[in-house]
Structure formats: C-alpha cells, structure tokens
Amino acid sequence: MKVRKAVITAAGWGTRFLPITRSQPKEMLPLVTKPLIQYSVEEAINSGIEQIIVITALGKRAIEDYFDRSFELEYVLEQKGETRLLQEMRELSDLVDVCYIRQKEQLGLGHAILTARGIIGEEPFAVLLPDDIIDSKVPTLKQMIAVYEQYKTNILAVERIGSEDTINYGIIEPGKISDHIYQVLRLVEKPEPSQAPSDLGVVGRYILMPQIFDTLEATPPGKNQEIQLTDALQLLLKQQAVYAYEFDGVRYDTGTPLGWLKATVTFALRNPDFGQELKEYLHQLL
C-alpha cells in the first residue's frame, strides 16, 4: 500500500529554548525566512505525501494560523501591488491537506503518534520530527519511501554518531542487508557508550506500518511516564520486520540552540539575496 499520510509531531514544550517558547512554539522559530515546521511540511509534499496530520498542544495555535488563509494580509498585499508575496502567501495555504490533533498530555513521542490512529487507519504512514532538518538533494522521506516500496515494512532513518552521543539517541543493532540498509535486530534507548550495540542512531524520520498502534497501546510507560516509540519498536520486532536506512544528507538538530544556529548560518549563507554579504560580515568577526 502506498504511503499517503504523514504525522508531524509539534506538541513538545521546547524547554531548551525557554524563555522564548513560553509564548512562541519552537516549531515556529525561523530558519532564515521560514519556520522550522515548514521544512518538514515541504519535505513531506516533495516526497508525495497527500495528507499531513500535525500533533499540537496547548499554546501551539500559531502553527494552525500559519498554514491557514489570511484574507486580510492578502488584501493588503494586493492593494500594495506585492504580487510575488501575494502569490507566495496563497501557495503556502494551499500546500497540502493538513489536519490537527491536540495531544492533551505530554506523554511522549509514542503517545503523540498514537493520537493519530483514527486518521491514519490501517495503512502505512510517515513520521517527521521537525527538530531534525535534513539537507539533501533528494528529500530524505522520499529516499525512505523508495526503500519501503522495496521491503514493504517499517523503515527508520539512521545516521552514524559519535560514541559520546549514544546517550541522546535510540541505537540499533544492525544486520547489514546492503549499502545503507540494515535489518534492525534490536533497539536500545539512549544507552551508555559501553552498552551501545552500534554507532547507528535513529533520527527523526520514520515509515511505520499500522501495527505500530497496537504495539504502542501495549507499551508500558518508561522514563517520566512517557510512552517511548523506541520501546514500542522493540516490541514490534517480535512480530514484524524493522529496517533502518542510512540516508544521504546532512542533518541539523534544531531542537538545541546551537544546532538551530548552525542550521541558520548554513542556510543563510546560501541565500541569493544576502548570503554573500553575510559571509563578508562573518569574516569580519573572526
């Protein structure tokens, strides 16, 4: 069955960006001229996704407003003759069919995905975490869908990480299938370096079969009483194959202030309007 739907999770508190995230959703922080979440939406669209389900929470209304029509703004732009901006604003609201589900309690990534069960139904679906911005010629999700079309099972995006970073990732025990593709034999959530089964960490892109929902419901809460997706995937291994794909691209963890700054500088330097001027300015600072 074709992957038609994608879940984008945007319900977290964004505590690493406090105090700005007291009133501003982290997913709406700008990465040059677009909010972080728009990169995930565009990646999904460019990968062939037809419907997007955004998981939000209290205080995230700005996300819904951003992708909605703004007739007042369009009127002002039309009156000013700003035809290019007017076209961009209309295209933004027409990007894709988006619906929103509010996660009423912060009970983990697994719980957030579980809230989308009624809309996903009995079909495979993608999950994108907007903290992970992946710069690649071919959208990462599109790469993964190609792998899914070959194996018709769960696909996790992985990348090689330093041993000091294993405590921040779900780590797979891989069984190599081919270049960049592995069968997942085991998953360990945030292990100490000495306990990590490999250097392949799971990052924020998934293609999941609908059986994950039953598994999530059977997954006991872990740390902080949260339902961890990694724990559910470990349970799923008993009944269904899970593969990992080492994607082609560069990932930026914009869920941290430093990662967000690195991505901002990298993307801004490529901007045709001010990239060169920024480069000259940065040279002055060094």
Q: Does residue 286 carry a pLDDT above 90?
A: no
Q: Are residues 206 and 272 located together in one domain of the fold?
A: no
What whole-number distance in Å separates Cα of residue 39 and Cα of residue 134?
Answer: 9
| Share above pLDDT 70 across residues of the chain, in percent, rounded to a whole number | 98
Highest mean pLDDT among 19-28, 103-112, 203-212: 203-212
Q: Is the pLDDT of residue 47 over 90?
A: yes
Mean pLDDT, residues 24-35: 92
36 and 127 co-located in one domain? yes
Residues 201 and 161 in one domain: yes
State the pLDDT at residue 69: 74
Question: Are 66 and 43 found together in one domain?
Answer: yes
The answer to whether 125 touches 3, Cβ cutoff 8 Å, is yes
Are 140 and 205 a contacting pair, CB within 8 Å?
A: yes
Q: Identify whether residues 77 and 150 lie together within a single domain.
A: yes
Same domain, 138 and 274: no
Structure tokens at 277: 């001027």
247 lies in the same domain as 267? no
212 shares a domain with 111: yes
What are φ and ψ of residue 175, in 5° steps?
Answer: -115, 110
- Residue 2 tokens read as 């074709």
What are residue 162's phi and psi, to 5 degrees?
A: -70, 155
pLDDT at 93 over 70: no
Q: Do 172 and 280 sit in the same domain of this protein?
A: no
The whole-number average pLDDT for the span 86-111 is 81
Which band of pLDDT confidence, cut at 50, 70 and 90, is reported for residue 75?
low
pLDDT class of 232 with cuts at 50, 70, 90: very high
DSSP 8-state code for residue 190: S
**What are the tens digits of pLDDT across the range 274-284?**
999 999 999 99
Average pLDDT, the chain: 91
Q: Are residues 234 and 277 in the same domain?
A: no
Location of structure tokens 């997954």 = 219
- Residue of 147 and 81 predicted with greater confidence: 147
CB 252 within 8 A of CB 136: no
List the structure tokens of 235.
């349970």
Same domain, 225 and 282: no
pLDDT 10s digits, 113-140:
999 999 999 999 999 999 999 999 999 9
Q: Which residues constitute the domain of residue 273?
A: 262-286
Could you tell me if 236 and 272 lie in one domain?
no
For 171-230, write each residue's pLDDT tens digit.
999 999 998 999 999 998 888 999 999 999 999 999 999 999 999 999 988 767 889 899
Question: Which band of pLDDT confidence, cut at 50, 70 and 90, is reported for residue 92?
Answer: low
Q: Which tens digits make up the pLDDT trace of 237-272?
A: 999 999 999 999 999 999 999 999 999 999 999 999
**pLDDT bucket at 71, cuts 50 / 70 / 90:** confident
pLDDT for residue 76: 80
- Count structural domains, the chain: 2
- Residue 158 is part of a domain; what is its CATH number? 3.90.550.10
